[in-house]
Amino acid sequence: MTNQMLMYLMIVTGGLLVVILVAFMILNNKLKSKETKYIAQLVEGTKTNGFSMDVFYQKVYIYCSKIPFLKRYVLKIRRRLEIINLEDEYLTRKQTAQIVFKGLLVIIPLTIIVVYLTRHNAILMLTLFLFEMFFIETFMEGMVDKIDNQLLRQQIDMFGEMRHSYHEYNMVEEALYDVAQNDEVEVSRQVEKIHEVLLSDDPETELEKYYDIAPNSYLKEFAGVSYLTKEFGDRKDKDGASLYLKNLNNIVQEMQLEILKRDKLDYVFQSLSMIAAIPILFLDVMKNWAISQFAFTKQFYNGTAGFLAQMAIVIVTIICYIFVRTLKDNGSVNTAKNMENPWQKRLYEKKLVKKFIDYIMPKDGTKEYRKVVALLKDNASKLKMEWLYINRVACVIIAFILSMFIILVSHRYAINYVYTEPTSDYNLLGNMSEREEMTAMEKTKKDNVFLDKFRTNFSITQDELKKDIAKSKEYGDATDKELDTITQRIWDKLQIVQSEYLKWFELLISCAVGAIGYYGPIFLLQFQKKMRQMEMENEVMSFQTIILMLMKIERVNVEMILEWLERYANIFKEPISRCVNNFESGAWEALEELKNELSFQQLIRLVEGLQSAVESIPIREAFDELDTERSYHQEKRKESNERLISRKSMIGKVLGFAPMVILFVGYLIIPLCVIGLTSMTEAFNTMSSM
């Protein structure tokens, strides 16, 4: 390096040092400024010395949102919580992370237990993993239901505060603003949203938007009554009480009845879901116990029959678990599934799929078409006809493939049992000693040589097998009597191995299972319809409460009452919607058509009252009995809820305990009795022939 280059290097290095020194001095001056000190104090005030669970849950939410498998659950839970926590992103993320984290704390130990108990049965392990996915989803939904129930209880306290504020201000919007100041409870956000709706430039449009995102019907009623009171003013009832406060009291009574019903349903079903699911975890435990205590059952549990029995119990358990969860549904907040672009729609857009579905789908105007449409409407299902039939075809394919898989695996189990089972006579009680088992396994290995050799030779005779055995090194030194016994034993094994292939009737069974799967979605819709029919009386009584609140408000007409009933209807939504659409063409005719579509007598009486209000008498007089018989209807509502809970409890117990009964009776007691009696009969026959 020359002196000139060295000088340039020193100049550049010195310049860099000067620049760094100047920058350091500038930054140091800024750090000492008042604004920087103030910001540092604010940041310091937000720091926590210890561990913060809020920060932990925010990090959990971010991490889980990036994991492909967990992301699905995070988004699903978030969609439901967004309705409860209006525009509160921080709380929504926190509650979502709490639910997902608690779910992981449950599923991870459960997965370890499943792996340990089914480590020798890969098929059962995979089945249980699929079942775990459904179980954890149900577990998370139950936690969201608890948050929704908590919101319902907060609403009762909120209505109490609303009464006091309304007494003080005598204005709905001022009372709402006062109640909304409590930021500690989730319901305050709902009240704040309702307050914003009432003060907006177009409250009717904003109110309709709020109806779409309200967590429950009681907040809808509260928002609607508050709007009507703000627009038309409050009035005194005949006893001098505020009509607005009386309507709030009616809503509170409805919520109290709903909370009692949900609490009782939760109490009845809190253990039934686990009772229905737990037996599936003890299949291998019971199998190992039975084999250890009664060795003669080993052939059953390790063979085809035992495998098929295990699969039957798994399927029955999953079906019963699904029905128990459906039966337990307490009407808490649920967001509708995304029906804008579901997988059924994307699949139906395929030309070949569309052509096939249109071919098997009933034609418009036929009896079958009307029957399926009525079933979908009775369930208030968002499915279209073609989507339903795509589901049915998918169930056929899944059921057929699953049954074929089970049959093929059962054949593999039977062959594997022949190849791996120690060759020895079974004792009625107890197991072989270690030495006896080693000797038996040596016989099995020798027999397997001939099984491998003649497994694919279906033309071999027993005499040819005997000659080959006599020439072999394994049994070449056997006596004639021993040779006959060995030949018969290997021949029996060979017949089993050669017979374990897919047979025509097994293919027919798989087709039959597929046919059953074709009707699976219809069976589920019919079950849901039966459950909804049990809720009919409860919904009509809620209609009575709505009419009772509206009939005393001035400027309320029959059409407005029908719009309110449509808004809060679930089971009877379709006929009421048609009545609202046809109302302008003729009020009496539309109500008469609605009455002809209904079969529930209590709702027919309400429609007759609306007809009377259309023609001759005021609404208040048409439904005067609802006010005078209010206490009677309240008691009847309680009794109706008791009957509903009792019926659901009875059905739930049958479904919940069915897997347990099948496990003990079908998988333990019956095999023990049948195989034990068969073994004793064979033993007696052997002794008699000696």
Q: Please check the confidence at residue 584 and state whether its pLDDT lies above 70.
A: yes
**Position 370 confidence tier, pLDDT thresholds 50, 70, 90:** confident
**Position 397 confidence tier, pLDDT thresholds 50, 70, 90:** very high
| Predicted local distance difference test score (pLDDT) of residue 4 | 58
Q: Please check the confidence at residue 49 and state whether its pLDDT lies above 70.
A: no
- Residue range 566-582: average pLDDT? 85
Best CA proximity match to 334, nearest among 147, 58, 526: 147
Q: Are 444 and 423 within 8 A, CB to CB?
A: yes
Q: Please check the confidence at residue 277 and state whether its pLDDT lies above 90.
A: no
* Tens-digit pLDDT profile for residues 595-640: 888 777 888 888 888 888 887 678 877 787 776 766 777 787 778 7
Amino acid in the structure at residue 76: K
Reduced to 3 states, what is the DSSP secondary structure of residue 647?
helix
Q: Which two tokens stand for residue 132?
A: 């775990």
Best CA proximity match to 472, nearest among 493, 446, 494: 446
Q: Which two tokens stand for residue 229?
A: 């009171």
> Which stretches of 500-556 are DSSP H helices?
504-518, 520-534, 536-550
Alpha-carbon span 299 to 284, nearest angstrom: 15
- Residue range 485-491: average pLDDT? 83
Place of tokens 């190992």: 288
What is the residue extent of each domain of the chain?
53-117, 341-534
Alpha-carbon span 274 to 281, nearest angstrom: 11
For residue 241, report the phi and psi dihedrals to the nearest 5 degrees.
-85, 155
* Tens-digit pLDDT profile for residues 141-163: 778 888 888 888 888 888 888 88
Place of tokens 């919007």: 173
* Tens-digit pLDDT profile for residues 445-469: 888 888 888 888 888 888 888 888 8
Alpha-carbon span 191 to 396, nearest angstrom: 49
| Predicted local distance difference test score (pLDDT) of residue 508 | 92
Q: Are 667 and 284 within 8 A, CB to CB?
A: no
Q: Are 602 and 542 within 8 A, CB to CB?
A: no
| Predicted local distance difference test score (pLDDT) of residue 27 | 57
Average pLDDT in the chain: 80
| Predicted local distance difference test score (pLDDT) of residue 11 | 65
**Position 686 confidence tier, pLDDT thresholds 50, 70, 90:** low
- Of residues 22 and 3, more confidence is placed in 22
| Predicted local distance difference test score (pLDDT) of residue 43 | 46
Of all residues in the chain, what percent carry a pLDDT higher than 90?
Answer: 2
Reported pTM: 0.72
Q: Please check the confidence at residue 387 and state whether its pLDDT lies above 70.
A: yes
Best CA proximity match to 569, nearest among 609, 541, 530, 611: 541
**Position 340 confidence tier, pLDDT thresholds 50, 70, 90:** low
| Predicted local distance difference test score (pLDDT) of residue 626 | 74
Inter-axis angle of helices 187-198 and 217-232, nearest 10: 30
Mind giving me the DSSP string for 138-192? Answer: HHHHHHHHHHHHHHHHHHHHHHHHHHHHHHHH--HHHHHHHHTT-TTSTHHHHHH
Best CA proximity match to 193, nearest among 218, 210, 216: 210
Q: Are 582 and 593 within 8 A, CB to CB?
A: yes
Mind giving me the DSSP string for 311-347? Answer: HHHHHHHHHHHHHHHHHH------PPP--SS-HHHHH
Alpha-carbon span 436 to 584, nearest angstrom: 91
Residue 250: how many other CB atoms lie within 10 Å? 19
Place of tokens 């009792």: 646
Q: Please check the confidence at residue 572 and state whether its pLDDT lies above 60.
A: yes
Across 26-30, 387-391, 564-568, least confident range: 26-30
Q: Please check the confidence at residue 511 and state whether its pLDDT lies above 70.
A: yes
CA dihedral angle for residue 628, residue 629, residue 631, residue 633, rounded to 10 degrees? -150
| Predicted local distance difference test score (pLDDT) of residue 573 | 82
Q: Are 70 and 93 within 8 A, CB to CB?
A: no
Amino acid in the structure at residue 172: V
- Residue range 391-417: average pLDDT? 87
**Position 37 confidence tier, pLDDT thresholds 50, 70, 90:** low
Across 25-34, 174-183, 479-488, least confident range: 25-34
Q: Please check the confidence at residue 250 and state whether its pLDDT lies above 80.
A: yes
Alpha-carbon span 166 to 159, nearest angstrom: 10
Best CA proximity match to 307, nearest among 508, 492, 122, 451: 122
Question: What separation in angstroms does the CA of 479 have from each of 151, 434, 451, 476, 485?
Answer: 85, 27, 21, 9, 10
Alpha-carbon span 405 to 418, nearest angstrom: 20
Q: Please check the confidence at residue 293 and state whether its pLDDT lies above 90.
A: no
- Residue range 354-372: average pLDDT? 87
Q: Please check the confidence at residue 400 and state whether its pLDDT lies above 90.
A: yes
* Tens-digit pLDDT profile for residues 619-628: 877 787 776 7
Alpha-carbon span 564 to 207, nearest angstrom: 12
Q: Are 324 and 273 within 8 A, CB to CB?
A: yes
Q: Please check the confidence at residue 479 and state whether its pLDDT lies above 80.
A: no
